[in-house]
Amino acid sequence: MPLLDYMITSEIELTKEMISDGLPRKLTPTLDLGKDNRTWNKEQLKALKLILCNIIINLGKGNIDGGKFLYSRDKRQIPIRFNPNEVKYSSVLAVIDKLQDAKILGGKKHPPRKKGDVFDKDNPSKMSNFIVTKQAIDFAISLGIDHKTINPINKSHVRLRELGKNPPIVEFEWDDWTKHIELLMARYNHYINKHCIILSTVNYESEGFSDFGHMGQEIHLHRNFRNYTSKEEFRKVIDEFWIEMDNPNFQFGGRSGGYWQHRKPLDRNFIIVDGMRMKHCDYPAFHINLCYLSDGLGWYQQETYKDLKLEGREEEDAYYIHNVPRDLVKQMVLLMFNCKGRKGTSLAWSNWLNKKAKPELVRAFEFCGVTALEIMKAIEKRHSRIKHYFYKGKLAGQVIQWEEANFIHHIAMSFIEQHDFIVLTVFDELIVPEEEAPMVKDFMYTMAGCEICKKHSLMNQIKNL
């Protein structure tokens, strides 16, 4: 379900007189206009225009999700970078309340959050919502707010957030690095929005389809970074790196997400672009491969586990440990890249087994007859040439993730610019038209990486932590 988009506006400047007289007033006779200028003041009128613009834009996309918008009642201001008209959030809440009281909008308010609860856009049951009505649409049009008068505001693609789940956005100063990423993502978004991307699920007959890009919802992918310098524990680790950027937070993480990226792997098999079936081209054991590449050792593995298994060569897989299920080894490798020391990895492993692991994986670990420490030692032995990348903590894992995100987006854009076919990215895989997949698999390991990214990479500093 959509959230309010603060990066749209209208050339129409609303006044209290405009909503108090003529057709707009006839359409909204129950709207409380107040007794003085404190009600429907300049700030509230800006909020009204924003809400009506969103309603009209959403209507043009097929009135998706039944015209229901999600919003939070936390009174936090949206930073200017993502709210250039400086619409006050308190005014947005006041206007929504007035429109709902007058039955011009439907929906409901979620009860106030308890201590410890966080804003969660991925959990609609924990958010307030408003529902578009025909009366609201007519009200907007009567005020001159329609597709001809609504204009988009240029949106940035680089986003810095606080730590935690669904945290607020943080302002930052642009530098050469963030400008480079912004330009890359702007070109990428512009290209993919020219194509019709249809998403569905395994249950497509009951759940239907969603249209994105050309003739559907606009796609706006961000590169997401976190404000690690806001926490003392991370500042101490950051000080151990030699970082030339003014803002070191842009050296960690930086993945993109949303749309097809947050779909389940099976659901991503139902992506159709411009009527074409799509094919997945995966980089196997990508974080392990990146460590080998960083040390000048070449690709450890280029064939996927599925291909190796078909040829009876499973033992060549980066995650192969005798008698240990592959999914358990993958999870352990993930923890070894992101935890501090064997002890920290062992504690994280126990927490994963007790709280997050699927029951079948818990049973598999019990039945395989090895300890967590034995799995760690087996992985260390198998990958002894890169073991200096293990056990260095969360920020070391974020450096590797940064390397992955930059590599994938650079390669995707290279295929787009050189061959002019759409490439969707999902962390460590490329989704391409089925007919182009053989060529992509031939060249995905030989295309040159991003020289600007190599200049800023901290990969070779992980071993010194």
Tokens (6 digits) for 154: 């240029």
When mean pLDDT is compared across 8-22, 67-81, 153-167, 450-464, the lowest value belongs to 67-81
Q: Please tell me the pTM assigned to this model.
A: 0.77
Strand partners, 282: 429
Asked if 226 and 249 count as a contact pair (C-beta separation under 8 A), the reply is yes
Furthest-apart CA pair in the chain: how many Å?
A: 80
How confident is the model at residue 209, as a pLDDT? 84
- pLDDT over 70 (residue 119): no
Beta strand pairing status for 272-273 and 429-433? unpaired
Asked if 437 and 276 count as a contact pair (C-beta separation under 8 A), the reply is no
* Residue 345 pLDDT level (bands cut at 50, 70, 90): very high
- Three-state SS for 8? strand
How confident is the model at residue 388, as a pLDDT? 97
- pLDDT over 50 (residue 65): no
Write out pLDDT tens, residues 206-257: 878 888 888 787 888 999 999 999 999 999 999 999 998 999 999 999 999 8
CA–CA distance, 196 with 346 (Å, rounded to integer): 46
